[in-house]
Each structure stands twice: as structure tokens, then as C-alpha cells.
Structure 1
Amino acid sequence: MAGPTLQPVGPDIWLAAGPEADVAGFRYPTRMAVIRLDGDGLLIWSPVALSESLREEVDGLGAVRSLVAPNSLHHLFLDDWRRAYPEAKLFAAPGLAARRTALVIDAELGDEPPPEWASSLDQVVMRGNRITTEVVFFHRRSGTVLFTDLIQQFPPGWFRGWRALIARLDLMTEPEPAVPRKFRAAFTDRRAARAALGRILAWPAGKVVMAHGAPVEQDGRAFIARAFRWLTG
């Protein structure tokens, strides 16, 4: 019998791995987070493909109130989640509305958390990147920071041939999760990026979760500082 899809990583926060997604010829693993908010309801961060077993587990935790697309690249499975949970509100990072004009977005994410999760999560927008604008979250109760694409790490052997070479040059297969070179070069407004990073480093982060890479289990704030040393040095 298969084990549970949702894996706890701290109080009131669970992770679930989804099927791989093909993006520009590269295979990407997918990961989402389920967060039980203070008071009532669940928040789904970066939803993966919605299987029957995953839906049963999510429903067992509570009612889905909020769906979150944390950047303009993570939108592949939003339609299925909207159909499954029509009462949930969809919150999206800046830029997704222009990319998915037919998608009904209830609210655009900003630098301040909306009332739905203000007591559970903090957030900041990493602006000034040509590839995507990413909203980084901090789950207070578990001390977990959630990055989407700005920090990545793929295990040895994940890519082969010319893809492995490109991944290595892009810092996607470093010994420690890192900001890929393409994202570093895409920051045209580094002043804005440093301001956002300053807020992130003020969070008392213990763990760091990313969509593409194994979670960092301890000393999260020190890890984030190392990952963005190229921006602050």
C-alpha cells in the first residue's frame, strides 16, 4: 500500500510531491505545501497535479480556503484545483494575470499578507526579475521560508547529456541549493531585490522549502544568506 502523499515538515505545514513537469525540454519535480491557517481553513501553496488520493488527504486536514500561485511560472494545475474547490480564493503573484488571461484571479499578492493568513504567514515580493516575480513566504509557527524557483537543487544524475551540462553551468546541481545563474542575471533591479532580501533575512527562519530541491532542515537564515551572497557581496 502506498504511503501518505502529504508529509509533515512542522506544525500545521505539510509537503506533497507531484508528477514531473516538462519545461523547455527539462524535467522538473513538483512540490506543493499545505498550511493550516490560524482560525480556519487551509492554504495550498504552488498546487501540484490533483490526484484522488491527494484530495482525500487534503480534505482530511480541513477546508481549502486559499490557493496560492507564488510566481508566474507555477500555474499548470490551478484549473483543476479551482474546479475542485470553487469556494477557495486564488491569490497570484504579479505577472500571472498577463500570462493566463482566462484564469480568474481573486487577488494579486503584494508585500503584506492579506487578512486570510496575516496571523499565520508573512510574505515579500522579490521584484525586478525579468523571468518572473516571486513571492516568498514565511510560516511563523514552523519557522519555514518557502521559495519557489529562486533557489533550486537537482540531485546528481537527474539530467543527462547536454541538459546535464547546462544544469551544471546554471548552478542547478550544486552541492547546496543555489540561485540559478539565469535568475541572477535576470535581476535588473538589484536594489529592490536587496530590499526584499533584507526582509527575508529578518525572519527567524529554521527551515527552507523550495519547489525544486530537498528542504533545508536547519539554520535556514544562514543558508539563505549564503544562497544570496552574490547579491549582497
Structure 2
Amino acid sequence: MLQLLDENIWTVAGPQVRVLGFGYPTQTVVVRLKDGDLFIWSPTQLTPELKTAVDALGPVRWLVSPTAMHNLFLGEWQAAYPDARLYAPPGLRQRRPDLAFNGDLQDGPGHPWSDEIDQVHVTGNRIAVEVVFFHRASRTALFADLIQQLDPASLKGWRALIARLDLMTGDAPQTPRKFRLAFTDRKAARAALARITAWPTRRVLMAHAPPVLEDGQAFLTRTFAWLRG
């Protein structure tokens, strides 16, 4: 259930999502803004228990998906919170025409939460544009798919081999090989990375990896050294 990370920011582990037989952990982050409204990052499965816990924190106002691939549970959150506003990253409107979006995630400020949460588009990748967020008060960066780490014990046979070759089962979270190869505009990606690594990050929360709770800025610098080379 909800785990308090710092003042006004919580995490919750969702169910594993299977893609081509690979089990991916899921995680949602809940931020309570200064006005009391809740910002929900990468909504995971909304169980009755989770809804009760979220409702106790405040009104759900903003629902955001960090990439077009993080869309599986958006419909149930929108149904449960019809007054919340759903924002789409690049590509999600086309992937989910069944959802009613209220806005698009742009690069940089200009959003209702921008006084408290920064965001950067990491572009130039054929797989997806990822919107990386930074909660200033807790110094927490939020990553969806650009950094991953799967439990090797959860994989067997050819899937274990593929995951290892894809750099998803190493000793530390890192960028999967398929994402590295999918960057066609590294200049744009490096420009985005420069903005991200300038944040005074303490923690890094990832949808598909264990959290990094200290020295987050140094972790991000190390993790993306391959892109700067």
C-alpha cells in the first residue's frame, strides 16, 4: 500500500505487468501539492484498498502518464475520479483514443503543477518520448522506462538471456540496450540529460526498478555516462 517517502510524497507498488512473457514491476507516485490536490504519476491498478488510502490524502486532481506505454490503468482512474484532469505524453492520444484527455505534457514549465514539479522531455528515441519529472521539495526524480532493473530470479530460459543481453538484470538499474540503440537524435537526448542532471536530485524513483534513496544526482550522472560518450 502507500509508503511515505518524504513529506507530501508517497509510493505504491502495483502488480507485475507481463509484456511478451517478461514480468515488469509497476509503481505509482502520489504527490500532494501545496493546495492539497494530488498529482498521480504513472497510475497503477486502482484497488479498493488503494482508492481508500488515496482518498484519505486529498482530492485527486492530476493524472499523468510519463510515456505512451504507461497507459494500462488510466481508464479505471479516470472512471473513479471524473473530476481529475488527465494529461498525455507524446504519442498516447494516438495509442488510446478511447480516453478523454484534458491536456498534453509539454517540455518544461507552464503546467498547473510547475511551481512544485519540473519536467523534461527526453526526445530523439524511436521507442517513446519519456517525460521525466522532478519534485523539488523532496528532491525526487521520476523515471518510467529509461532506467530499469528486473529481478533475474524472476526470469528463466531464453527470457533470462534476453533480459541479461538487454542490460535489465545487472547489479544496478540502467538504461536497457534497446533504448540506447533506439536513440536517433543523441544531441537532443544529451540536451535533455543536461537539464535532468542539473537537478539537485537526492532520490530516483523508477517504475521498473528499486528506488535509489541517496546521491541521486551522482547516480543519474553515472547511469547516463553511455549517452555522453
Q: Normalising by the residue count of structure 1, what TM-score does the alignment of the two structures yield?
A: 0.96
Pairing 1:34–2:30 present? yes
Alignment correspondent of 1:44? 40
SS of 2:25 mapped into structure 1: strand
The alignment of Structure 1 onto Structure 2 pairs a total of residues equal to 229
Q: What's the Cα RMSD here?
A: 0.9
Higher mean C-alpha deviation, range 107-116 or range 208-217: 107-116
Q: Which of 59, 73, 82 is matched with 1:63 structurally?
A: 59
Pairing 1:109–2:114 present? no
Q: Offset at 1:221? A: 0.7
Q: Which of 204, 211, 224 is matched with 2:220 structurally?
A: 224
Alignment correspondent of 1:85? 81
Alignment correspondent of 2:50? 54
Q: Offset at 1:126? A: 0.4
Code of the residue aligned with 1:64 in structure 2: it is: V
Q: Offset at 1:232? A: 0.3
Alignment correspondent of 2:187? 191
Alignment correspondent of 1:142? 138
* Contact 2:126-2:183 at 8 Å conserved across structures: yes
Q: Normalising by the residue count of structure 2, what TM-score does the alignment of the two structures yield?
A: 0.98
Code of the residue aligned with 1:125 in structure 2: it is: H
Pairing 1:132–2:132 present? no
* Contact 2:27-2:208 at 8 Å conserved across structures: yes
Identity of aligned residues (%): 55
Q: Offset at 1:115? A: 3.7
SS of 2:49 mapped into structure 1: helix
Distance 2:144 2:225 in 1: 18
Pairing 1:171–2:138 present? no
Pairing 1:214–2:210 present? yes
Alignment correspondent of 1:122? 118
Q: Which of 139, 153, 156 is matched with 1:157 structurally?
A: 153
SS of 2:119 mapped into structure 1: strand
* Contact 1:38-1:117 at 8 Å conserved across structures: no
Structure 2 unmatched ranges of 5 or more: none
Q: Offset at 1:219? A: 0.6
Q: Deviations over 1:74-121 (max 9, x none)?
A: 000000000000000001110101111222111111112344211110
- The runs of at least 4 consecutive aligned structure 1 residues that moved more than 3 Å come to none
